[in-house]
Amino acid sequence: MSVGETEKTTGSPGDRGRMDKRRAIVEAALRVFARVGYAQASLDQIATEAGVAKPTIYNHLGSKENLFRHVMTETAARSNAKTMDVLESFPNEPQDLRPGLEDVAQKLVDCYCDEQSESVRRLLYAEAVRFPDLFDAVRASGPDQFVDALAGRLARLANAGQLRIEDPVRAANQFIALVYEELPGLSGLGTRPLDHAEVTKVVTAGVDTFLRAFGTRAGVDPGTASGTGV
């Protein structure tokens, strides 16, 4: 089921009710899996959390393994729909480059650090041995699509002479790493709250480093620190 189908609200009352119930099961399953892990989670616990009968889970999503796989890929796809919206504010004009990239980075970090995204990330690492193929499936249902979209935006800036980029996909991955990869350690993989001021420092420093590496004098304000020596 695609994200669009998951969020669909049209159709008969019966269809809407079925999709609402399915959504409740997926969200309840994520909470249970995140709380106790895959091995300790049971369909009885998930049914109680979702407020449905256990056979309803089988009817909608089958076994526990199938449910887990579905929860991971669907939640990643749902999160990806939110991160795609981040690119609506992507900068196009030279004077907007730094503030625009900082805005995009802050919104991206907010998406990556929300409770569901953090839960999926922890589960993905914790169950990597049990589900070695799931990492690629989750990447394909979410992050890889965002990286490709971000790479396209960066390539346009490079074509306009605002950035110096040879490999847009690698540049997109490096942008994400610079503004985000420090944060999981600070938050204990999402188990403790992040200080907003510290997040802002990480984001600002990440954008600064990105512009030092990929900026041009035409694309970076020479009056800023990142414009010096580029």
> What predicted TM-score, i.e. pTM, was given to this entire model?
0.78
Q: What is the DSSP letter of 133?
A: T
Is the model's pLDDT at 95 over the cut of 90?
A: no
Percentage of the chain surpassing pLDDT 90?
A: 58
Integer Cα distance of 25 and 104 in angstroms: 32
User: How confident is the model at residue 2, as a pLDDT?
Assistant: 35
Q: Which residue has the higher pLDDT, 86 or 225?
A: 86
Q: What SS3 state is found at 215?
A: strand
Average pLDDT, the chain: 85
Angle at the Cα of 3 from the Cα atoms of 152 and 190, rounded to 5 degrees:
80
Residue 141: which pLDDT band, with cuts at 50, 70 and 90? confident
* AA letter at 202: V
Q: Encode pLDDT of 49-60 as tens digits.
A: 999 999 999 998
Q: Encode pLDDT of 204-220 as tens digits.
A: 999 999 999 999 864 44
Integer Cα distance of 200 and 10 in angstroms: 40
Q: Which two tokens stand for residue 134?
A: 């799931």
* AA letter at 131: F
Give the pLDDT mean for 64-76: 93
Residue 194: which pLDDT band, with cuts at 50, 70 and 90? confident
User: How confident is the model at residue 230, as a pLDDT?
Assistant: 33
User: How confident is the model at residue 13, as a pLDDT?
Assistant: 58
Residue 19: which pLDDT band, with cuts at 50, 70 and 90? confident
CATH numbers and ranges of domains, the chain? 1-62 (1.10.10.60), 78-227 (1.10.357.10)
* AA letter at 186: L
Integer Cα distance of 28 and 51 in angstroms: 9
